[in-house]
Structure 1
């Protein structure tokens, strides 16, 4: 008994679910025919119309027809939705609208991709109620120099939309039928959309030379008092007999009322009957500016026009076509979309891994090049060390001879003439420089052999003045204005005196070379400034020049065997950097303009900073 109860309960639930699902599904057309109309609930439908003269005017014109249909079609109510061409296509795809009122050209474009049916063709309010009332009027100003279609070539034109049959498409068809090339026929084509009034305003204001408007737009604006007919002319006026509006092109079937095939057949049948039954005296016809509706007119002329112009059946944007295809083929569409997403992600992952591998290989290659360069420099340094050691050994003998001869000459001069003679002073200078040369050779030999240098206490300003005396001839030869700004405080350092002096001479020689290579204007001078002060318990020596300036990075100049000179070895500043480092300081090169308070903007600045607190008393 308990099992039977459970089975009955389960069957009841299944049956209830089935009935709920069946009631939730949309009613098919066949079901509508079989079921009595009285059992159906009212369904609300949305009807899209082209908003030629704006949204407000379109609602005012077409809503009475919607009210008429709501009264005459059972179980249905209707609402007007003014749209442009592209929005109408998109709304039809998404199912937001169920009916469209549009020109036959737009209907032809949509019918190739959307399941829609043409229910009726509108009769014109003018022209004795003709159903052929769509065409284009080509309008220019009265004072324009354009009189024929041929004259229009190379001028600017404005139109409502490229898909407007009663406008741009009809005008282009006219130009094509006269054997003119439609490619770049106009110098500029501007599509302003809806409403239509701005098209003629553009011509009135001289912004455009030509306006292509739908049939009767000019006369309607004149009737409403917007413009004067005497201010404008119509190009290629081919107005048929008994027609009240000027037209430039052949006429095509009037607007059509079309339905989506998703609407039940009984509703479509009811709408067709109601449209064909409406009289020209009905308020819906009078306000809607028509004389009722007729059976659908043949599309032969529209199809012929599109074939002549080689227009595609669907000129809607690509994204709308894609959305439509996906909607009609959801299973395959989403499968392809998923496959595309997966392929894109996989491609990005491969690209990421490839970039990672490429960066790793590039870094490895760069490191190998650096190691090879270091090895080459070490080999060069080893060779130079051997050569330098031998050269220093050979130079010691002539330098020692010069020292002995100068010392012997000084002794003879002191005995015979005295120490105040010019010869004695010259011999004394020779003796001093030979001693200095011997110390330099000795120091270079120790440097190449990686031996420690002797540390002595020396006066910084004294060594600086000695270096300036040695280079005095160079300054005078190159006509260089040398200026010093020295502190009055005595500065003493403990370390390699010869090496420090060698640094000063090397830096000053580089400054001389820099100003010598530069071409100066007539009233400009070559200048070198030496600034020596104590800043925050550190010796700060700045040497400025207004020469050619730096051509490479600061660290490059400190690298062995790197030189910007044609005959340079690339050892000078590298040795200087080592000497200053042994004194506990550092040497840096920069452009003058990078200095906080430069004496001039162009040139080079060498900065030597040595902490004084690191030196013994």
Structure 2
């Protein structure tokens, strides 16, 4: 029998507490138990994969598992410090003796530490109290941090002054004082709730302690034997003393646990889309296989019909009509293909013209802003205007010859190319008040410099657009060498892309911009592939980083003689 035990402590501590209890139960019912110390995520995964028979977890977790996995609460634990099993666990707000905290709003002014956001008594109970007071702990407590276990470490942080307030389960402070870890009078519990028949100070309502539950597929007769064995344990037994509890009782009223779930916006008051999606995946796969088999059968039948029709068709006139019809269909297909290709190229030209023409506008404005009576900087600005005009003309010329002329390959210093591109885009960088963070390794290759600069301009401009409304935009460009490949990464902290948009990033006419044509990334991909490289995008969304990372690679050992790929072959 496999018993999953929800715990944030080390497996050794969990086994030391619970192994004597289940050794006794196993000897009484002639069963062998395997104990597994699991985090909340690990516990849910084990339950979903039906790898557990029984669970010991806090009240919040046991209630959450009822609907999705058919868990049934069999017993409730009565800890040492409580008289009633339905009021055994709470949260305590602990601070130094010289700090005054009169209401929950005062916590926003202090550095607060907790063990883990999924700890029941250590955080979730107090998070419910804060939510009822209109306080979001993750956004309103500006200096909230989770430092892990053991719990006495949080008390040490408060005593040393590294933190002002610790959110911990009730009775942790009393236990530390009794063991001599913390001197009496140094720390205190604030915002105390009055609880009768409860030996510890708490800053919250009280909830049931650990619950012993069975999964829906576990044999009920075996569960009954285990329940009898657990109920026979008395507080004077060594199993209860090592397990730090008095005894197991019948399941208690957990309606206030549902109230906490509602306050924390968890099941059953919100839809568990992740669970529903996981359950739907086998059906989706099965439906896809069924449709695929049906389609293959359709193709097989269709092929047999065609073969038999041709075998029976002996009339020359019918054969000629069939050939003529096929020829006309091919002509229409190639005609439609040329029309689509021409339209995409025309859209690409219009899209790319916006870049140098926008540069003309920005640089001309820069000249106007910098005009002085002496007009000392006018010459430099006008030269940049001329460079932009030349670039626009070069783009138009290249697209006109796109299907006939090969690319112009030459030795390219990638560090110099990146710096020149950033200088070219300096007005746009100033517009969003950003300086790119560069991490560049000297790398050279053979490439079409103009096309690669076009790729860099497209990617950097997309990053700037994505960060337009960010209070602190950040752009980083990295150039490195790996396995004879030049790796260039452009990363921003912009709004990023959805999963659907990311999967269709390199599709023609797919854009999230209001006036975009959806060809910029398509052109970038084709240019990189013409250089025998690869390009991909990664959405960044974690606690430390958010945004988008675009990475493309170019082969370094590439020679002019080996590159015969033309723009025509890259697009047709």
Per the normalisation by structure 2, the TM-score is 0.49
TM, length-normalised to structure 1: 0.46
Greater radius of gyration (CA): 1
